Amino acid sequence: MEFKRSIIITGGAGFIGSHVVRLFVNKYPEYRIINLDKLTYAGNLANLKDIEDKPNYRFVKMDICDFEGVLKLMQEEKVDGIIHLAAESHVDRSIKDPFTFAQTNVMGTLSMLQAAKAAWDGNWEGKRFYHISTDEVYGALEMTHPEGIEPPFITKASSGTHHLAYGEKFFTEDLKYQPHSPYSAAKASSDHFVRAFHDTFGMPTIVTNCSNNYGPYQFPEKLIPLFINNIRHRKPLPVYGKGENVRDWLFVEDHARAIDIIFHNGKVAETYNIGGFNEWKNIDIIKVLINTVDRLLGRPEGADMDLITYVTDRAGHDLRYAIDSSKLQRELGWEPSLQFEEGIERTVRWYLDNQAWLDNVTSGDYQKYYESMYKGR
Ligand code: NAD
Ligand code: DAU
């Protein structure tokens, strides 16, 4: 079958990537969608069971660092678009093992760029290299507030929407990069390489920086799925520091929709921030999770509050992230589809209904890793 477009999505077996692959495979039967993934501990083909037999889908087990392999695949499949998500993504792991993060996130991205450059050979017409990055590259924001007003306070974004905030400043696209963790330093470096390939060679690139995602299929080392699982099994909830850090949460399907819009309509060489103006203190989210899990399991609401266990803070723990996505909303008309309460309810239900998925991804080596991670905390 002749396809209208041929697109490689890297990291398609991971959390966000699997939602992007599903969206593209279902929405664009006229596109060839190639999921290129090494299947690290975070990659899981069970995330894509529902679409694996679709005629426009192909999975290729490959390391993004394999320049020759990627180039051959691009030539064989006449690839004209790359949506690059593959990365090491967990901050705590990057503190323990920065080398792996530099290798995958920096060298892997460079290898993808070099392969695209070689395959496209200066013929940029109709081509696109879309790199998925994070808000963490901007560093951390302070928790300031107007005199006499306690946070969270209502503020107005330049898009005109009102929302609650824990500080007066937001991450905008023009901010200087100030990454703090080895993870965000590696992501920042990869973003620079992507822009350098536009500026030096003319490659049609786009970079987006998104806030914290939540939803189904997230590996349960991240706050939300880890805590849902622990509450269910009445295990301690390791809250870093005082639980006062603020994160800005977006439902993963809204991120996938933004990626679709930006891949098709975003301007070459531009950067777009993606986020839903949805700031929460960790401790408040944790209380919502406890109440929701308890209610859905028929336990008295809040019965599991005593699982909250304050542990040693994450090294270099960024205080606050808050994305200003006004540019994306204004220029490309994207907006989040879900209220947080609805998204969290759907997410908690999904993890409670999919215990087998959780057990599967946390078996074997992950157990040893998890135990070593929390030793001494
Ligand atoms: P994830 O850890 O769930 O998935 C990463 C995927 O990449 C896995 O399928 C893994 O097997 C694959 N992978 C890792 N190394 C690879 C390699 N060398 N070659 C090929 N595949 C490899 O990550 P995620 O949370 O879905 O994040 C996806 C992307 O989005 C990352 O680039 C991340 O930096 C970015 N991002 C994540 C969030 C978030 O909240 N999770 C927010 C903003 C941006
Ligand atoms: O902001 C986007 C980023 O969001 C992405 O780029 C990363 O890939 C993604 O992992 C996420 O990073 P965070 O470090 O913010 O997510 P995490 O789920 O690890 O932690 C969320 C907050 O919860 C953070 O302040 C640390 C805290 N935390 C986390 C864990 C795992 C705890 O208090 N206890 C925990 O056990």
Of 370 and 183, the one with more pLDDT: 183
Q: Which atom of ligand 2 is nearest to the CA of 91?
A: 14
- Under the banding of pLDDT at 50, 70 and 90, the label for residue 377 is very low
Mean pLDDT within 225-241:
98
63, 136, 221, 254: which is the annotated catalytic residue?
Answer: 136
Q: How many angstroms separate the CA atoms of 71 and 65, rounded?
A: 11
Helix, strand, or coil (residue 262):
helix
Q: Which amino acid, residue 167?
A: G
Report pLDDT for 363: 80
pLDDT digits (tens, 9 = 90+) for 38-56: 999 999 999 999 999 999 9
CA of 77 to the centre of ligand 1 (A): 23
183, 214, 217, 272: which is the annotated catalytic residue?
Answer: 183
Sequence ranges of the domains in the chain: 5-373
Mean pLDDT within 352-374:
76
Mean pLDDT within 252-266:
98
Report pLDDT for 369: 60
Of 125, 175, 122, the residue nearest 324 (C-alpha): 175
Q: How many angstroms separate the CA atoms of 213 and 248, rounded?
A: 8
CA of 14 to the centre of ligand 1 (A): 6
Q: How many angstroms separate the CA atoms of 50 and 54, rounded?
A: 9
Tokens of 305: 């509050």
Domain 5-373's class?
alpha beta
Mean pLDDT within 237-247:
98
- Under the banding of pLDDT at 50, 70 and 90, the label for residue 160 is confident
* Known active-site residue 301: no
pLDDT digits (tens, 9 = 90+) for 115-139: 999 999 999 999 999 999 999 999 9
* Known active-site residue 183: yes
Mean pLDDT within 197-209:
98
Q: Considering the chain, what percentage of its residues have pLDDT values greater than 90? A: 91
CA torsion 254→256→261→263, rounded to 10°? 160
In angstroms, how far is the first alpha carbon of the chain from the final one?
Answer: 56
Residue 376: pLDDT over 50: no
CA of 158 to the centre of ligand 1 (A): 30
DSSP per residue, 145-203: --TT-PSSEEEE-TTS-EEEESSS--B-TTSPP---SHHHHHHHHHHHHHHHHHHHH--
Residue 15: pLDDT over 60: yes
Residue 159: pLDDT over 90: no
CB of 194 sitting under 6 A from ligand 2: no
* Known active-site residue 135: yes
Residue 215: pLDDT over 80: yes
Q: How many angstroms separate the CA atoms of 159 and 272, rounded?
A: 14
Report pLDDT for 162: 86
